[in-house]
Amino acid sequence: MSKIKPAKGSPYARILGVGGYRPTRVVPNEVILETIDSSDEWIRSRSGIATRHWASPQETVAAMSVEASGKALADAGIAPEQIGAVIVSTVSHFKQTPAVATEIAHRIGAGKPAAFDISAGCAGFGYGLTLAKGMVVEGSAEYVLVIGVERLSDLTDLEDRATAFLFGDGAGAVVVGPSDEPAIGPTVWGSEGDKSETIKQTVPWDEYRTDDSGQKFPAITQEGQAVFRWAVFEMAKVAQQALDAAGITAEDLDVFIPHQANMRIIDSMVKTLKLPEHVTVARDVETTGNTSAASIPLAMERLLATGAAKSGDTALVIGFGAGLVYAATVVTLP
């Protein structure tokens, strides 16, 4: 017989607060057109993007995360010292170690929480949310701060006509804590490594060990049509599985918050899932661009701030991207 005592966590977990930070510089399509042969009409028709935010040198991954975290903590009514773990999802923090989560935890005054980074691309927020839920239910942390943050402008090839207009910068954060009722559903997640070449960093960091490498600085590249087909057809299936796992139907939804990759993908998923007209759909991509791991919490924060969604609404969230990886779940909005 095991001598290990059972965990003393909460029966359930929920999102208690959300916060976001968008860099001050707004970049319209006209700026992108300075380096690629395209048009504003073409960019909007292909992606739905009109503007995006690019970070200044002072708006680092850590700095943006601190701003978003402060708003999430205030929204949740939780003091920094109550945070038992900090999870940061990012692919654009250029220090391999230490994890930027440790710096963020210190700067927000969280004391000595568990702190670590994860790399799951555009599905990173869903991965972090799932880990946080497990910590709260298991009892290893009462409150967990989950951050999705990117400075993708650092990894954008402005001469690549296929991707130069896609990416933006920003940070989104949520506080996850105990709940008396189910408020974060089962996660449907996974990976399809056979498609890992469809979204990738162009060259690995170790190509820069010598000054005469001759390599162009790494950027994110993707096979657009392959990604589009995968996202529309396969991710709609995953989204439906998340609804089934939560025991609800599309009719029960109030809000749909997909990864803000592309307006055409979002609209196609809405059609494939046959979402009713009463469901509010996040389309933050138009003014924020694709911010990878930050896109879902940023879109969630904007919907709540503008009144397009309200506290207590039932929302389906799904992230998908490089790996290829994905994560979908149903949540109650804070």
Catalytic residue selected from 29, 53, 93, 259: 259
Q: How far apart are CA 227 and CA 99, in angstroms?
A: 29
Which helix (H) or strand (E) segment holds residue 87: the answer is strand 83-89
Task: Strand 325-332: give its sheet, edge to edge.
Answer: 188-191, 325-332, 314-321, 255-258, 280-281
Alpha helix positions (H), the chain: 29-32, 40-47, 61-76, 100-107, 124-138, 224-229, 235-246, 263-273, 285-288, 295-306
3-state secondary structure of 56: coil
Active site residue 122: yes
Q: DSSP string spanning 123-158?
A: GHHHHHHHHHHHHHHHTS-SEEEEEEEEEGGGG--T
Residue 57 phi, psi (nearest 5): -55, -30
Q: How far apart are CA 234 and CA 227, in angstroms?
A: 10
Q: Which are the catalytic amino acids?
A: 122, 259, 290
